[in-house]
Amino acid sequence: MREWRFWLAEQRGTLMAVGIFATMFLIYISNHPAGLTANVVQTAANKGVLLAFVAMAQALIVITAGIDLSVGMTLVLTNCLASWIVVGAPLPTALGVAGVLLTGLACGALNGLLVIVGRLQPIVATIATGAIFFGIALLLRPFPGGSVNEDLADALTGKIFGVVPASLVALGAVILFVWIPFRRSALGRAAYAAGSSEAAAYMSGVPIRRGKFAAYLFSGLFAAMGGLFLTFFTYTGEAAYASGNAYTLFAIASVVLGGVSLYGGRGSAIGAVFGALAFRTIGDLLFVFDFEPLWQPLFQGVVLLLAVSLGALALVQVKNRLEWFR
């Protein structure tokens, strides 16, 4: 009988994110001139899924009590790479997709090695690797351009049976077949334990190093999936510094909106996905209400500021003032 209460307490952040998203989407749809049509949902889904992948990548690192400021640049790098190699006949395209995903894994592995074996601070290490990833992206695509297998791109960004957005299905499949098995495996638990209390986990013989490394690997993989989808939407590769930074920033906002604790060990990638969908919907609300596009960066910044300030509410619960100072 008590089971469900524990489950509810554990999933509170995720459920909050689902609630925020549902409310925002309802406001959005009821004010949209076209109403709830398959096309409106498809456009919204495509934009949301892109950020959702990056948010999942960020969530994995945040769960281990780290932060990854290079996710946006991994996305840009894989986008530029995909615009070269995901082309042609089905077989080369499949190899290209595999190559892009492997590149993402390599980016994650580099970050993981630097943080776990190199014992560097995740913030500076990922700022530096982000610069490297961006540099490589710029080497690949000094100017925007390239192409992608358009059949695959259209299939993955279109609608299945004319109703369900294919990108949402892809996202669901990744959650179902990658995230949930990882979450339930010993490695996934180790990643959570490392974020929750590294010392206690270490003392209990939890394989924290392997768990954290797996989290970094999957983070790179998810970011590469985001890069693939970006290529599918735009049909081109572009090494844009500002857009890489924006994705990193929005991913952090999504993770916070999604109820993942920045101190680690609490939350889930599913929450981050709903956080990302909610964040995108909030951005789109501006269009529905006919605001000047110029105000959008400010609006998104304020949403981000409010989202991260939500964490300050935990201060109210602190009983001992010393808890403020770590």
Partner 1 sequence: MSDAASGGGLASGLLRRIDPAVAIAFGCILALLVFGSLYSSNFLSPQYLLQQLKVASFLGVIATGMMLVILLGHIDLSVPWAVSTGAMMACAAAAQGPAGAVLAVPFGIACGAVIGLANGISVAYLRIPSMIITLATNAVAQGLMVAYTGGFSPQDAASPAMRWLATGMLLPGVPNAVVIWALVGAAMVFVLTRTSFGRAVYGIGNSERAVYLSGVPARRVVLMVFVVAGALSALGGVLLAGYASKAAQSMGDAYLLPAIASVVLGGTSILGGRGSYLGTVAGVILVTLLQSILSVMQMPEAGRQIIYGVVIIAMLLLYGRTPAKR
HEC readout, the chain: CCHHHHHHHHCHHHHHHHHHHHHHHHHHHHHCCCCCCHHHHHHHHHHHHHHHHHHHHHHHHHHCCCCCCCHHHHHHHHHHHHHHHCCCCHHHHHHHHHHHHHHHHHHHHHHHHHHHHCCCCHHHHHHHHHHHHHHHHHHHCCCCECCCCHHHHHHHHCEECCCEEHHHHHHHHHHHHHHHHHHHCHHHHHHHHHHHCHHHHHHCCCCHHHHHHHHHHHHHHHHHHHHHHHHHHHCCECCCHHHHHHHHHHHHHHHHHCCCCCCCCCCCHHHHHHHHHHHHHHHHHHHHCCCCHHHHHHHHHHHHHHHHHHHHHHHHHCCCHHHHCC
For partner 1, give the closer residue by CB, 172 or 297: 297
The minimum distance between CB 37 and partner 1, in angstroms, equals 31
The minimum distance between CB 154 and partner 1, in angstroms, equals 31
For partner 1, give the closer residue by CB, 235 or 299: 299
The minimum distance between CB 132 and partner 1, in angstroms, equals 4
The minimum distance between CB 298 and partner 1, in angstroms, equals 3
For partner 1, give the closer residue by CB, 56 or 62: 62
For partner 1, give the closer residue by CB, 6 or 325: 325
Helix 241-257 vs helix 269-288: angle between axes, to the nearest 10 degrees?
A: 110
The minimum distance between CB 229 and partner 1, in angstroms, equals 23
For partner 1, give the closer residue by CB, 63 or 97: 63
For partner 1, give the closer residue by CB, 9 or 315: 315
The minimum distance between CB 184 and partner 1, in angstroms, equals 27
Instruction: Give the Cα separation of 289 and 275 in Å (integer).
Output: 21
Write out the residues near partner 1 by the rule CB under 8 A: 67, 69, 114, 118-121, 123-125, 127-132, 134-139, 142, 198-199, 202, 241-242, 249, 252-253, 256, 262, 294-302, 304-305, 307-309, 311-312, 315, 322, 324-326
> Side-chain half-sphere of 15: how many Cα atoms within 13 Å?
6
The minimum distance between CB 54 and partner 1, in angstroms, equals 15
* Contact criterion met (CB below 8 Å) for 264 and 20: no
For partner 1, give the closer residue by CB, 127 or 180: 127
The minimum distance between CB 165 and partner 1, in angstroms, equals 28
For partner 1, give the closer residue by CB, 34 or 315: 315
